[in-house]
Amino acid sequence: MSAPPPTPRRPRRFGPPQRVFSQVLLMQLAVATGVTVLATGLFLAPLSAQLDDEAMHRALAIAQSTAAQPEITESLLSTIPAPGGPVQSAAERIRRSTGAEYVVVMDRHGVRWSHPDTGRIGKVVSTDPSEALAGDEVMEIDRGTLGRSARGKVPLRGDTGRVVGAVSVGIAYDSVRARLLAAIPGLLAYAGGALAVGALAAYLISRRLQRQTHDLAFSDISALLAEREAMLHSIREGVVALDPAGRVRLLNDEAQRLLGLGPDAAGLPLDEVLGRGRTADVLAGRVVGDDLLTVRGSRVLLANRMPTADGGAVATLRDRTELEDLGRELDSTRGLIDALRAQDHEHANRLHTLLGLLELEMHEDAMEFVTEVVGVHRATAEQVTEKVHDPLLAALLVGKTTVAAERGVSLRLAPGTLLPDRLVDPRGLVTVVGNLVDNAMDAAAGPSGALIELELRAEDRTVVLRVRDSGPGVPAGQRESIFTEGWSTKELPAHGGKRGLGLALVRKLAERQGGSAAVGMAPGGGAEFTVILPEALTGTGPTEADLPEAGVMGVGR
């Protein structure tokens, strides 16, 4: 025997799980901090480049304005480089007025004619001046004898346009960095304010989530959802959840089975999914009450509806089909018991009569009496089976005839009744006939001469059923409402069930087969129910012409 597979180990959890409030707050704070740092860095990087570019343009502009002064060009051509020369004086004046780090004027050989450090005048510059001496303007960040600086170099031209030297102006890089550092505190203040606002928003959102999730951890919420799904799809009770707009939000497996729907019904309006009818009215809340009965297809459902806080609702469905069938069978059984009890008395009277005839030695009269009693019951069964060849339906009619006779109602088959034994759904037709006959007995019972006439005809593959009674009939304004669930004029039955389902089931069964059920006025007064069931007979079997003719069946008293 192989060893059982090892049980998977659960991951160890150190300490209680963090609640949604703390988890969401920490995540949002981390996101807000990261975004603030990233935004600050993205702002500082181009700011530094922008300040460098501004310094280089400023240096170039100073160099251009210096080179545009003709006295500097004339002094460069007519004097020699000296600390107190006119070129040095002009360059220093410009440096002091512009705040530049240096203003250097050089000749074509790169020899300085001006410099903040007079000891460097007359010496060759430390950086390459070839581009400026070639006639090009230059902007750059470079390091010279005075350190790192933003530089602008322009050619110095004579009257004829020939390059006679160059002007190099530098802006101290320390001043550029000082501007950058001066901008950082203000930027950090804005970033700190944004971070504080983000933290406050994160706190408020987390508190709202805490209230809505009842301070559960994400793992607890995930477990609850998994348990809810398992519970909803395992219980043997239908659950339908609706949103405030009346759309199907959730439909478990049992609800899909009871309502005959698929999983794609979720998200659709309830009236579109179910169609107009009592079932949709009950689930939508248009019909209110507890333990409301409704019929869906061939099922009898018990529905309850509970509104939710968001304006939606949750409805539960229980299948009462078997229970209702048992209730009707119990009613029928009790009716049969009453009929048998009455027959018992009648048979006792007949036996007493027979005993008296035998004691009086009236043997021939006794034989005639027995023959007559047996013949009546035999004739009833034979007349039914001659006209109705389906055994289930024939047995039902024989039983209903006895029950009707005990209630003082005559149940007979109409002359045109003829039904072959090739029904597609005999049980469905038994339900239809049983409900209509019971309804007719309730309507006709009471006055003397009560009569029910049943007609069953086969027209090709269609079955036409008519049940007429001698009762008060159905008013014209109620001929449609009597087929809705819950409509009844009778008191509740003894088994505690609910009335008003028989005729609704009749119409549902007829419509399920593509037929119809209607009620009108019988020719002699009373109600006449007509049910048409297309495709209720198989295509093979004897035709009506092949069936034997029979007389009218009637039993009553």
The tens-digit pLDDT sequence of the chain (557 residues) is: 444 444 444 444 444 445 656 667 777 777 777 777 777 666 666 666 777 788 888 889 999 998 888 888 888 888 888 888 899 899 999 989 988 888 999 998 889 999 988 888 889 988 888 898 888 999 888 776 666 678 899 999 888 888 999 999 988 766 555 555 666 676 677 777 777 777 787 777 777 776 766 666 666 666 666 666 666 666 778 888 898 888 888 888 888 888 888 878 888 888 888 887 778 888 888 888 777 777 777 677 888 888 888 888 988 888 876 665 565 566 556 655 655 665 566 667 767 777 777 787 787 777 776 666 655 455 566 778 888 888 888 888 877 887 777 778 888 888 888 888 888 888 888 888 888 988 888 888 777 778 889 999 998 888 999 999 988 888 888 888 788 765 555 544 443 444 456 788 888 888 877 788 899 888 878 889 999 988 888 865 554 444 444 333 444 33
- pLDDT attached to residue 492: 43
What does the domain layout of the chain look like in residue ranges? 23-179, 236-319, 323-555
> What is 23-179's CATH topology?
Beta-Lactamase (3.30.450)
> What is 323-555's CATH topology?
Heat Shock Protein 90 (3.30.565)
For 245-294, give the secondary structure using H, E and C. CCEEEEECHHHHHHHCCCHHHCCCEHHHHHCCCHHHHHHHCCCCCCCEEE
d(CA 472, CA 521): 10
- pLDDT attached to residue 7: 44
Query: Residue 299 burial (CB < 10 Å; 0-12/13-18/19+)?
Result: buried
- pLDDT attached to residue 465: 92
Element counts in the chain: helices (H) and strands (E): 14, 15
Residue for token digits 């939508």?
284
- Which candidate, 234, 288, 294, 233, places its Cα nearest to that of 259? 294
- Are 283 and 240 within 8 A, CB to CB? yes
- Which candidate, 524, 506, 523, places its Cα nearest to that of 515? 506
d(CA 167, CA 103): 7
- pLDDT attached to residue 464: 92
Cα→Cα distances 479→518, 529, 532, Å: 8, 10, 17
CA neighbours closer than 13 Å in the CB half-sphere of residue 148: 7
Question: Is the pTM value of this prediction over 0.75?
Answer: no
CATH number of 236-319: 3.30.450.20
Q: Do domains 23-179 and 236-319 have the same CATH topology?
A: yes
List strands edge to edge, sheet with 163-172.
Answer: 102-107, 163-172, 147-157, 138-144
- Are 190 and 169 within 8 A, CB to CB? no
Q: Output phi, psi for 245, to 5 deg.
A: -85, 0
What is the pairing mode between strands 313-319 and 299-307? antiparallel
- pLDDT attached to residue 106: 92
- Are 508 and 485 within 8 A, CB to CB? no
What is the pairing mode between strands 163-172 and 450-459? unpaired
- pLDDT attached to residue 545: 42
- pLDDT attached to residue 167: 93
Name, in order, each residue with C-beta under 8 angstroms of 548's C-beta and a sequence gap of 6 or more. Answer: 386
Largest CA distance in the chain: 180
- pLDDT attached to residue 301: 80
| Dihedral of alpha carbons 400, 403, 407, 413, sign | positive
d(CA 55, CA 172): 9
Which of helix, strand or coil describes residue 519?
strand
